[in-house]
Amino acid sequence: MASVTLHRDVLIVRFAFWERPFALRGRLAVPLAAVRDIADIADVEQPLRKTRGVRRAGVLVTGLLKIGSWGLTSGVRQFVCVRRGVPALRVVLDAGTSTLRYDELLISTPDAAEVADAVLRAR
């Protein structure tokens, strides 16, 4: 399961070894200046339903997990690493300041509410 931490002014997402082949990376680093909005998705069934459009790359296990890039037909490019039964963070990125090629991140992590609060306090 991905871990999300705040280190100085950077939000860092580290992926578990088994998630890395589907995520095509070991971690993501997002400067807080690029975060336009952040919220936790408390309803643990909702993260799987929050993806938009068609999968671009990654893996989908129906009803269980989604990892990879979504948004082929929706216009909103999402990086997704979510699991059923685990709360998630929804991070909306500012296209003008983000170096990532995504508009949103959806990341399941058990401490989603705490991370969201820490980011909001740090901004």
The predicted model gives 52-59 an average pLDDT of 82
- What would the pLDDT profile of 63-117 be if each residue is shown by its tens digit? 899 999 888 777 788 999 999 989 999 999 987 666 778 899 999 999 888 999 8
User: pTM of the prediction?
Assistant: 0.87
Listed in sequence order, the residues at least 6 apart from 31 whose beta carbon sits closer than 8 Å to its beta carbon are: 9, 10, 11, 97, 98, 99
C-beta separation of 97 from 15 below 8 A: no
pLDDT of residue 51: 83
Contact criterion met (CB below 8 Å) for 71 and 79? no
Residues in CB range of 14: below 8 A, 6 or more apart = 2, 3, 4, 5, 26, 27
Instruction: Judge whether 47 and 86 are in contact, CB under 8 Å.
Output: yes
Nearest CA to 89 out of 97, 98, 81 is that of 81
Total domain count for the chain? Answer: 1
Confidence grade of residue 45 (pLDDT, cut at 50, 70, 90):
low
Domain residues for the domain of 34 are 3-122
